[in-house]
């Protein structure tokens, strides 16, 4: 998820979005569905691992983020790798 | 890591590489440095999370894979995200 | 069809467009020409299957959407596949 | 799925692969999981709609195709669109 | 030629440009230099065949269009194909 | 259509393909369906205008070319442009 | 150098920039360092050949153009070709 | 790091950012972590070599730049090359 | 023009091609039509300025090069720039 | 510089090239012209800083590498940055 804030936003509007973004993101992390959240070093981007039950649920999670309309998002479906040694994937 | 096997390889050569690739990958997973290994659904590719102490160690791990010369690899450095709720990153 | 809403739109203008977009899209679905409409998971995009009688009719359908000027659209012509088992394509 | 046949293949080898590709593809179509299969007009490519229960099953279906190692594949997860009028997605 | 209208334009300004664009385009068509003009189905784009005497004249024709500053244009020089059966190219 | 001849072909094989390519291309031109055929200046490529009754027919025409497996092809559907002054499109 | 004028500029501002752009460009041409300046046919772009003594001087020349902040620029270093027949390169 | 200044900025705002950008950049250079800083000839871009102890520190350095929100940044991790003759990398 | 020599060529075959390439290139330079020929620094590529009377002649010149089938070529039509100070373009 | 070794090479041929590549690279490093040489972590690529007196010398250095024909190379000219604190650039 690459975030691109519109240049016209005031500092207040930006902080309001950032606060709500954090709340929404942490709600999904606490639910156990948003497994990992990393900052891409040197960019206003993150790489996340989300374990959703269906593409519908994945869309529900991602589109609930307040900054969703200002993100460029790339989704990749992953599954178990034959060489992985763990019982569970995550 | 996208894998592209040369068309000229025999089935024996391919199996030998796959066996050794599995051994090398699992050795690094057991060491605790190769944290996650996922298959990209529908592709001969994987997405991995590797926790190396330096770019040198990262290169040592990836280039030790027998299929390294036949892979197209994209590396992204990640760090802790301010919205992440876990104490440890992984 | 990737949708990109201008940042300057008010919430009212956006809702008005979304309502009219839905009406137009459903009119074409009911006509039987717009066969399938899927949301791309995690993006403000859709993938659609439209059965038009000609490129002219295809253009008429797509350009009738209120959000047409704000979409980035990729069109691919498909035909019957020799391995398909169905009599009809859709 | 874009197919790229190696130039070194004999006509017999090609026909053998095409025959087995057709069998595998039709087996999955008959199972009800491979919903649609279209030829991209003017290219040796297809666009398919597959309804799998998980990314693991999707990978099992696609990687079972004999021509899988010779394909360039792009996977997009889709879900229900709020404007779609059908009860079922397919 | 892909056209991208600025979001800030009023409906009047847009109509004025469209009217003048049509007049200029048709003037060049009537001159015999702008041979073909097709709409790309599903996009606000056109594909045109222009027979100019030099790159200077080509630039004069294209840059005379009122919407020229709002177009993304790709130019390809074509010549007679050895397999073509027509005496003249157009 | 960009043509890429395999490096391993003999001069005889190449000439045979070129001859048959010409025959097939001219057969479709004489049928009236392959309207225009231009060489892209400076490249082993052509730009063609084909008037097919359906995507199926378009695929039949293009895939009948002997060099079809060695081409990289881009297809764009076009329709009548509102500014075009001709009664017929071609 | 591709030029992209902001949509918000008035006609006066644009003309002022174009006038100063011309003066600066011609100053460098007269100095003998800006060897060639061609318009790309059909685009608001130019291709230039500049003979600078160092990358620093090249940057000084290009960044002195008033429209520099509104250009997308691609720089390619060239040198003498072994097949060139001229004593001097330009 | 490619810099893209918003067109709406006043000259004062721009100068203020440039001054603070210089201060921040030089603070990191003096700390010894920002090893090299080069201007890309002919572009408003730089190429930098930063020696950080971790991806977290790298992100701290880059994101502290006032122009960070207006940059397009590409990060590449490098390590010692087996052919390098120097004891230290920098 | 980017040149890509097949890996299977012998040194003799390569030298033969290079010799004939040089002869053909210099023949066109001496004719006055191939105005400039530069090596792209650090690549097996050249940038050339060719003054042809038509796209047909341009294609005749480029396709006469023995290495033409092994080149990736990009053609850009240029014309006189309004800011250019020279009477002639070259 | 991205290196792509042909699949058909024997281990002996590869080792011979690697040995000569190392010798040539170190010769230029000792000359003081090849300032820095880094391995891109996780790839068979390097990023180098070369201080040449002209594009001709740069091409002489890069093209002297035995693996030059098997590399994909991107060259960027850099110069002094106004924010740099060092007297010398390197």
Q: What is the pLDDT of residues B25-66, one digit of tens each?
A: 999 999 999 999 999 999 999 999 999 999 999 999 999 999
| Residue-level pLDDT at I64 | 98
Half-sphere exposure at residue A19, Cβ-oriented, CA atoms within 13 angstroms: 6
CA distance I50 to I52: 6
| Residue-level pLDDT at H60 | 98
pLDDT-based confidence at residue G86 (cuts at 50, 70, 90)? confident
Structure tokens, D73: 């594949």
Farthest CA pair distance, chain F: 50
pLDDT tens figures, I10-35: 999 999 999 999 999 999 999 999 99
| Residue-level pLDDT at G5 | 94
| Residue-level pLDDT at C86 | 84
The chain G residue lying nearest E55, using CA atoms, is: G41
CB F49 within 8 A of CB D16: no
What dihedral angle (degrees, nearest 10) is formed by the CA atoms of J64, J66, J70, J72? -40
Task: Kindly report the backbone phi and psi dihedral angles of residue J78, in degrees, each rounded to the nearest multiple of 5, phi listed first.
Answer: -120, 160
The chain B residue lying nearest H80, using CA atoms, is: B56
Distances (CA, A) of E28 to E31, E47, E77: 5, 15, 19
ipTM of the prediction = 0.91
| Residue-level pLDDT at C57 | 98
CB contact under 8 A, I78 and G25: no
> Looking at the partner chain, which of J6, J8, J73 has a beta carbon nearest the beta carbon of I42?
J73
Q: Which of F17, F61, F63 to mutate to test the interface with D (most CBs of D within 10 A)?
A: F63
Contact: chain C with chain B (3+ CB pairs below 8 Å)? no
CB contact under 8 A, E75 and G5: no
Contact: chain G with chain H (3+ CB pairs below 8 Å)? yes
Structure tokens, J67: 């693996």
pLDDT tens figures, F5-60: 998 899 999 999 999 999 999 999 999 999 999 999 999 999 999 999 999 999 99
**DSSP, res B9:** -
Residue in the block written with tokens 């019982």: A87
Residue in the block written with tokens 């502290």: H64
CB G46 within 8 A of CB G39: yes
pLDDT tens figures, D16-65: 999 999 999 999 999 999 999 999 999 999 999 999 999 999 999 999 99
Residue-by-residue pLDDT tens, chain H, 90 positions: 999 999 889 999 999 999 999 999 999 999 999 999 999 999 999 999 999 999 999 999 999 999 999 999 999 999 999 999 987 767
Mean pLDDT of J2-20: 95
Contact: chain C with chain E (3+ CB pairs below 8 Å)? yes
Mean pLDDT of J58-78: 97
CB contact under 8 A, D8 and B7: yes
Percent of chain B past pLDDT 90, that is, above it, reads 92
Half-sphere exposure at residue A41, Cβ-oriented, CA atoms within 13 angstroms: 19
CA distance H66 to H57: 17
Q: Which of I58, I60, I79 to mutate to test the interface with E (most CBs of E within 10 A)?
A: I79
> Looking at the partner chain, which of B54, B75, B80 has a beta carbon nearest the beta carbon of H56?
B80
CA distance E37 to E50: 9
Structure tokens, E41: 């189905």
> Looking at the partner chain, which of E38, E42, E77 has a beta carbon nearest the beta carbon of F89?
E38
3-state secondary structure of A73: coil
CB contact under 8 A, C83 and D21: yes
pLDDT at F76 over 80: yes
H/E segment holding residue E19: helix E11-30
CB contact under 8 A, G78 and J56: no
pLDDT along chain C (90 residues), means of 10: 94 97 97 96 97 97 97 97 84
In angstroms, the separation between the Cα of residue J7 and the nearest Cα of chain B is 7
Ranges of beta strands (E only) in chain J are 2-3, 34-40, 46-50, 71-72, 78-80
pLDDT tens figures, G36-61: 999 999 999 999 999 999 999 999 99
User: Distance from first CA to last CA of chain J, Å, rounded?
Assistant: 20
Sign of CA dihedral I30, I32, I34, I38: positive
CA distance G80 to I40: 9
pLDDT at I89 over 90: no
CB C68 within 8 A of CB E38: no
Bridge partners of H50, per DSSP, are H34
Mean pLDDT of B54-83: 97
CA distance F6 to I8: 12
Q: Which of H78, H79, H80, H86 to mutate to test the interface with J (most CBs of J within 10 A)?
A: H78
Contact: chain J with chain B (3+ CB pairs below 8 Å)? yes
Q: Which chains touch D (3 or more CB pairs under 8 A)?
A: A, B, C, F
| Residue-level pLDDT at J88 | 72
Residue in the block written with tokens 């600078």: G52
Residue of B86, G44, F35, J71 whose CA lies nearest to J63: J71
| Residue-level pLDDT at F86 | 84
The chain A residue lying nearest B38, using CA atoms, is: A81
- In chain A, residues with a C-beta closer than 8 Å to the C-beta of H73 are 42-43
- In chain I, residues with a C-beta closer than 8 Å to the C-beta of G76 are 40, 47
CA distance J70 to J5: 6
CB contact under 8 A, E78 and F26: no
The chain H residue lying nearest A2, using CA atoms, is: H72
| Burial of F66 from C-beta contacts in 10 A (0-12 / 13-18 / 19+) | middle
Q: Going by C-beta distance under 8 Å and a sequence separation of 6 or more, which residues neighbour residue H60?
A: none
> Looking at the partner chain, which of D21, D83, D90 has a beta carbon nearest the beta carbon of C25?
D83
CB contact under 8 A, C73 and E5: no
**How many Cβ pairs within 8 Å bridge chains G and J?**
21
- In chain A, residues with a C-beta closer than 8 Å to the C-beta of D75 are 77
In angstroms, the separation between the Cα of residue B3 and the nearest Cα of chain J is 13
The chain J residue lying nearest G59, using CA atoms, is: J79
pLDDT-based confidence at residue E47 (cuts at 50, 70, 90)? very high
pLDDT tens figures, I41-86: 999 999 999 999 999 999 999 999 999 999 999 999 999 999 999 8
- In chain G, residues with a C-beta closer than 8 Å to the C-beta of I82 are 22, 39
CB I78 within 8 A of CB E55: yes
| Residue-level pLDDT at H87 | 73
* Helices and strands of chain A, counted as H and E runs: 2, 5
Give chain I as a 3 state SS string: CEECCCCCCCHHHHHHHHHHHHHHHHHHHHHCCEEEEEEECCCCEEEEEECCCCHHHHHHHHHCCCCHHHEECCCCCEEECCCCCCCCCC
pLDDT-based confidence at residue D86 (cuts at 50, 70, 90)? confident
pLDDT at F72 over 90: yes
pLDDT tens figures, E15-41: 999 999 999 999 999 999 999 999 999
| Residue-level pLDDT at B87 | 73
Distances (CA, A) of E89 to C54, C71, D48, E60: 27, 36, 39, 22
Residue in the block written with tokens 């992390």: A29
Distances (CA, A) of C53 to C59, C61, C73, E44: 11, 11, 19, 20
Q: Which residue did the predictor score with more confidence, J81 or I87? A: J81
3-state secondary structure of A47: strand
- In chain G, residues with a C-beta closer than 8 Å to the C-beta of E69 are 5, 44
In angstroms, the separation between the Cα of residue J45 and the nearest Cα of chain I is 15
pLDDT tens figures, A4-61: 999 889 999 999 999 999 999 999 999 999 999 999 999 999 999 999 999 999 999 9
């Amino acid at each position: 998820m690459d975030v691109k804030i519109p240049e016209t936003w005031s500092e207040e509007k930006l902080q309001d979005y950032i606060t709500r973004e954090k709340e929404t993101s942490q709600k999904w992390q606490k639910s156990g569905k948003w497994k990992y959240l990393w900052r891409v070093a040197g960019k206003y981007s993150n790489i996340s691992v989300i374990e959703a039950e269906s593409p519908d649920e994945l869309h529900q999670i991602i589109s609930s983020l307040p900054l969703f309309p200002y993100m460029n998002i790339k989704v990749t479906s992953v599954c178990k790798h034959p060489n992985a040694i763990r019982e569970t994937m995550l």
